[in-house]
Structure 1
Amino acid sequence: MVVALTEEILEAADCLLDHDVVRGNPTMTEFRRCVRYHHAMWRQARGYPIGTHRVRPGTPPRAIGSQLDLEFALASGATFVTTKALDAARARASVVEAHQKLNRRSFWADLLSSEALAVNLFGDLAADIERADRAVHTWWPTTPGKVTEVHFVHSPGRFDPSYSNSLRSFDAMFVLELPDGTNGALAIDVKYREVTERRGVKPTHMPRFSDIHDRSGVFAPGALDVLNPSRVSMIWLEHLLLLSMLQHDSGRWTWGRYVIVHPDANTDIAHAADEYRTLLNDDATFHTSTIDDLLAVKALTVRTTAALRGRYLPRTPKRSGTQAHSDRALR
C-alpha cells in the first residue's frame, strides 16, 4: 500500500520543503516529495540520526528527513549501499582533482545526492573491471573496446582550455581501451530528482564552447542560438566536455558517448533530453538510460540490484483533490 503524502505527513517527517515544488508541474512536485519522504523513512527504519541543512542563505540550518548527521555519515558511510560502493566513495574522497567542487556534506550525508547515487550504481564495478566490462556492454551494447578504469565525479581537466575550460564534470566515467590503442570514454551524468532550469552561459566562456560546438559537427544548424540560454544548457555543457575530449590535441580519445541516467519517474529530465536531441543532427555521442532499465537486466548482483531498487525507486504516491495541483510556496 502506498501512503498518500499529505502536507501533515511530510511535515512530521521533516520533509515539507518549498525546494521540492516545481512550478506548473505537479507530477514532478509529487515525485520529488515522494523520494525525499521515502529516504526519510529509509533512514528512520535503520535508526540513523537525522541531519540538518541550510535551506536558504541567511537562515539557520533545519532538520531534513532525507539528511544524515554529517559526522555519523562520515564515520559509517551509511549512504552507500554496498561495501564496494563505500570503498569507491572513500577512494574518490581521498583524491583531489584540480579545481574540483566535491561537496562533502552532500556526497556523504544527503541521501538524495546524485553523485552518491552514481557511486552506489557503479561502485561494485569499480572493484571488478571484468564485471564492469560485462555490465557496460550489457547496458550499452554498441560500446567498443574494453573497460579498463571507472572514475567518479571526474573531469579530464577543469578550467583547462585544451578541454572545455569549464567546471563541468561527469558523475561517472568508464575508460575504454580500443583495438587501435587509443581510448574511449563513456561519460555518465546521473540525474535523480533534479529538474531543469533556464540558464545561460557567461559570455567569456562562449568562444571556447562555440568552437567545440561547431567543430563537433553533431549539432543541427541554428542549435547554438537555441541552446544559450535554455533549459537544456547544462546538458549541452556536459556534452561539450565529452566532445572536447574527442577533439583534444593528444589524440587519446577517439570514441565517446555522453549518457544521462535518470529514474523513469523523472519526466522532466526525460522531456529535456528529448528536447535536446531535436537539436542534434547526429546523436551517436548522446544517449539516455533509465535507472529502472539498468536494474532490469542482470548486470549487477541480485543483492546490489535489490538494494538499489529499494533505496532509489519507490512507488510514487498520489495526493487527492486540489493538493495534487498545488504548487504554492511552502515554508
Structure 2
Amino acid sequence: MSKSKFHPTKHRSENTFLRIPFVSDTVAKHYDSHCMIDSRFRRAARLLQILWMRDQSIPNAAVEERGAHLGSYLRADAAEDGLNFISPQVHLLALRELLLREEDAAIDEDRLITNTLSSMPLVFNAFGPLALDTKLATSVFCQLLPDFVHSVERIAFEHSPGRRDERFLSDRSAFDAAVHVVTPEGETGIVYVEVKYSEDMAGPCARWRDRYDEALQEVGLYENPASGILRSPPLEQLMRLHMTAQLAVSHRITPRAMFIAIGPRLNRRAQAAFRVYENELLPLNDSDPTRVRFQHFTLESFIDAIDVAGDQETADKLWTRYCDFRRVYDAALAVIAPKMDASSNSTSSSEGTPAETGKRRSSPRGARSTRRTSAAQTSEPLEATHG
C-alpha cells in the first residue's frame, strides 16, 4: 500500500469556533449540566453530551442513581444496553475488552458505560471501528503518520508493556490504545496513544517514585531531565507515558515505537500541555530509529482522517457527539435570549462562525488537499491560558 497524505478538510475550520462557547450557571442549570468544578471547556462538553443524548432519546440517570443529578450520565438500563457507544459492534468490543483486560488494568466500568463525558468511552468510540476493521485503521494511520505506518495489524486497549515492572516505571502507567503496525521499512512497531477529551490537565499527579528520576536520565528524551515543568500536573502523565514507550523499545518489547496524544482543538489546556511537553524534548536525531518520537493531533483531525479513509458515517457520529460545539452556542443563546428571532441564532459571530448549524458539511472527496500535515499543523498553536 502506498503512503497516504493527509490534510484537514476546509469545512472543519469553517464549522468551528476560535474558542469554546461560554456556558453560564443559568444555562448549565437549565440543561441539568451544572457542575461547579467544571472548567469552561468541560462545561461546554458536558452540555454537548446532554444534547446528543436528547437526540438519541437516551434517558439520563436520576438523583437516586448517582446521589446528584447531572444529565450527562446514562440511566442504568440505557448504560447496560450499550447506548454510550456509537454502535452495537463497538459496545460488544468494549465488553470483550473488559473480559480480557490485562492484569491490573485500570478500567472503570462505571465511567465506561455510564459517563458520556469520560474519555474512556471516547477511546472505544474513536478506535473501536478501527480495531474492528484494520483496513480502515491502516488508511487512517497512513494519513496521520505516513513515515511510520505502512499497515495496521491490530489495536489493543488500556495497554502497558510493563505494568508494575521494575524495568519500566514500577507503576500502573498505561496507554489508552496501542496500535500495532508494520513500518514502511518492514519492521514491526507500536503507536502508543493517549486520548484527552474534557480533562483540564490539573492532576492529580502519580506518587513520585525514585524510579522516575532514574528513568528520566535513562531514556535520553529531555533537554533537562531535572526540569520542574516535567513534574507539573499538566505534563507529568505525558512524561510517564513517553518514558514507558521509550523503555518498551529499550527492552525490545518492540523495535520501533511512537507516542501520540489526541485532544479536542478547543480544549486549550490539553493543547497547551501537548505543546509545552513537546518543547521539553531533545531535538530529533534522524540517525537514531530507536528514538520514540512524540506527536500530537486534534480530535478533529483524527475524525477527518476517518472520513477521508471512507467511513463518513463513523466520522459524522464522532463529530456530532464530541466536536459540534456550534450546538452548544445555539443552545446557550436560546436560553439567554429566548425572545430573539430564530434567524439571529444563525448569524455568524465576529470570529467567523458558520451560518449553518446542527450538522457537519461534507466536502467532495476529490477536493481534499494531499499536502502532508506536520505535527505543528495538526495541533494548532493555542495560547496556554485557561479557557
TM-score range, shorter chain: 0.7 to 0.9
In structure 2, relative to structure 1, the CA distance for the partners of 1:46 and 1:180 (3 Å cut) is closer
State the 1:20 CA deviation.
Answer: 0.5
Deviation at 1:261, TM superposition (A): 0.3
Match of 1:289 in 2: 297
**In structure 1, C-alpha distance between the alignment counterparts of 2:185 and 2:246, rounded to whole Å:** 20
Q: C-alpha distance in 1, partners of 2:223/2:23? A: 43
What amino acid maps onto 2:295 in structure 1? H
1:182 to partner: Cα distance = 5.7
The structure-2 alpha-carbon separation of the partners of 1:101 and 1:300, relative to structure 1 and needing over 3 Å to count, comes to: farther
Pairing 1:51–2:61 present: yes
The whole-number CA distance in structure 1 between the counterparts of 2:117 and 2:172 is 22
Please report how far the alpha carbon of residue 217 of structure 1 lies from its aligned counterpart in structure 2 after TM superposition.
1.6
Residue 223 of structure 2 is matched in structure 1 by 220
Structure 1 partner of 2:199: 194
Letter in 2 for 1:11: K
2:87 to 68, 78, 82: 82
Question: What RMSD, in angstroms, separates the aligned Cα atoms of the two structures?
Answer: 2.8
Aligned-pair CA distance for 1:12: 2.6
Aligned residues: 303
Q: What pairs up with 1:125-204 in 2 under 5 angstroms?
A: 125-177=130-182, 183-197=188-202, 200-203=205-208
CA shift, 1:289, in A, is 0.3
Instruction: Give distance in 2, aligned partners of 1:136 and 1:84.
Output: 21
Higher strand share: 1
Identity %: 21
SS in 1 for 2:224: coil
Extract unaligned runs of 5+ from structure 2.
Answer: 1-14, 285-291, 337-387
TM-score (norm 1): 0.83
Q: Work out whether residues 148 and 176 of structure 1, in 8 Å CA contact, stay in contact via their aligned partners in 2.
A: yes
C-alpha separation in 2, matches of 1:183 and 1:53? 50
Pairing 1:61–2:67 present? yes
CA-CA distance at 1:114 after TM superposition? 0.7
How far apart, CA to CA, are the structure 2 residues paired with 1:185 and 1:238? 13
Q: Distance in 1 between matches of 2:203 and 2:98?
A: 31
Is 1:98–1:157's contact at 8 Å kept on the other side of the alignment?
Answer: no
Corresponding residue for 1:38?
48
Q: 1:70 aligns with which of 59, 65, 76?
A: 76
- Partner AA of 1:292 in structure 2: E
Aligned match of 2:322 = 312
Query: How far off its partner does 1:177 sit?
Result: 3.6
Shift of 1:224: 4.1
TM-score, normalised on structure 2? 0.71
1:279 maps to 280
- Kindly state the Cα deviation for residue 13 of structure 1 after the two structures are TM-superposed: 1.9
Which of 238, 242, 245 is matched with 2:245 structurally? 242
> Aligned residue for 1:257?
258
How far apart, in 2, do the equivalents of 1:81 and 1:36 lie?
Answer: 17
Cα distance change on mapping 1:222 and 1:124 into 2, 3 Å: closer
Are the equivalent residues in 2 in contact too, given 1:70–1:105 (CA < 8 A)?
no
> Which whole-Å CA distance do the structure 1 matches of 2:156 and 2:283 have between them?
27
Q: Is the 8 A contact 2:229 2:235 kept in 1?
A: no
- 1:44 counterpart letter in structure 2: R
Give the structure 2 partner of residue 26 of structure 1. none
Using the alignment, how far apart are the partners of 2:249 and 2:63 within structure 1?
A: 39
Maintained 8 Å contact 1:198/1:232: no
CA separation in 1, counterparts of 2:319 and 2:236? 30
Q: Does 163-172 or 83-92 show the bigger shift?
A: 83-92
Are 1:301 and 2:305 an aligned pair? no
- Could you list the runs of 5+ residues in structure 1 that have no partner in the other structure? 22-28, 55-59, 324-331
Which secondary structure state, in structure 2, belongs to the residue aligned with residue 67 of structure 1?
Answer: coil
Q: 1:106 is matched with which residue?
A: 111
2:108 & 2:176 partners in 1: Cα distance?
A: 13
State the Cα distance separating 1:210 from its structure 2 match.
2.6
* Counterpart Cα distance in 2 of 1:200 and 1:111: 24
- Report how far residue 221 of structure 1 moved: 2.8
Counterpart CA distance in 1 for 2:62 and 2:170 is 34
CA shift at 1:82, angstroms? Answer: 2.4
Partner letter of residue 75 of structure 2?
D
Q: Contact (CA 8 Å) 1:261, 1:288: kept in 2 or not?
A: yes
